């Protein structure tokens, strides 16, 4: 078996890297640059190739010829996140940038929430909105202690910002100029949920999926 010299092997590897990084496009189109943000930094994966033929002429400026900007976000919130020395506790599960359209929200209560002390398990409920406080625009109030379940697979479980009855063009546009939080609120009917540092809950886990598009 013939072995390549080290210099020749390195040349082959470098050539492969160059080819992998060289953007390509359809015949007759300009090369398609693809920008990938590392997972550790978050952010969108953007493809600038246009599906629509851009307009041209006096007074027309193309701000974005075409970009892929829709992602599905997944987050799991455990009972240990709720440490507030109060009967309500708001946890920000994500922050949506300006010009974000949220089109899909689904939750899975994989472990019911229960109190170890102070609060009462049978009185626990959860909501999801985009305002710190009592907002339930995405998930209306549901029992956090009764049984494992999906939330959002029925329109009645969705709030007025995302349900079918109040849908505007298939999504909810939160804010055109500023970021806004996505807030999960746990409420106890009796007794505080924590002492400000440690939770009084013993179990509980909710996973949430959110599909969002950030406009250019």
Q: What is the pLDDT of residue 9?
A: 46
Q: What is the pTM of this model?
A: 0.77
Q: State the number of CA atoms in the 13 A half-sphere of 24 facing the CB.
A: 6
Paired sense of beta strands 34-36 and 88-96, if any = unpaired
Strand segments, DSSP code E, in 100-198 are: 100-115, 125-129, 139-143, 149-151, 172-173, 180-187
> Can you give the pLDDT at residue 5?
57
Tokens 């009645």, residue? 156
Residue 40, CA atoms < 13 Å, CB-side half-sphere: 0
Residue segments in the chain with a per-residue pLDDT below the cut of 70: 1-49
Alpha carbons within 13 A on the beta-carbon side of 139: 27
Q: What is the pLDDT of residue 68?
A: 81
pLDDT of res. 44: 55
Distance (Å, rounded) from C-alpha 23 to C-alpha 98?
A: 30
Contacts of 13 (CB under 8 A, 6+ apart): none
């Amino acid at each position: 078996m013939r072995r390549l010299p080290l210099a020749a092997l390195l040349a082959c590897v470098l050539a492969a890297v160059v080819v992998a990084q060289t953007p390509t496009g359809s015949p007759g189109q300009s090369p398609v640059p693809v920008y990938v943000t590392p997972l550790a930094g978050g952010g969108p994966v953007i493809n600038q190739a246009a599906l629509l033929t851009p307009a041209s002429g006096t007074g027309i400026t193309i701000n974005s010829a075409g970009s892929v900007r829709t992602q599905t976000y997944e987050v799991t919130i455990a009972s240990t996140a709720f440490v507030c020395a109060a009967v309500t506790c708001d946890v920000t599960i994500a922050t949506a940038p300006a010009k974000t359209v949220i089109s899909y929200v689904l939750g899975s209560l994989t472990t019911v929430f229960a109190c170890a002390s102070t609060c009462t398990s049978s009185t626990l409920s959860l909501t999801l909105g985009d305002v710190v406080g009592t907002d339930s625009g995405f998930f209306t109030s549901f029992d956090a202690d009764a049984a494992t379940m999906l939330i959002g697979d029925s329109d009645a479980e969705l709030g007025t910002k995302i349900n079918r009855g109040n849908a505007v063009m298939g999504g909810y546009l939160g804010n055109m100029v500023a970021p806004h939080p996505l807030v999960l609120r746990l409420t106890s009917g009796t007794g505080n949920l924590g002492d400000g540092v440690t939770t009084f809950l013993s179990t509980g886990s909710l996973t949430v999926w959110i599909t969002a598009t950030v406009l250019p």
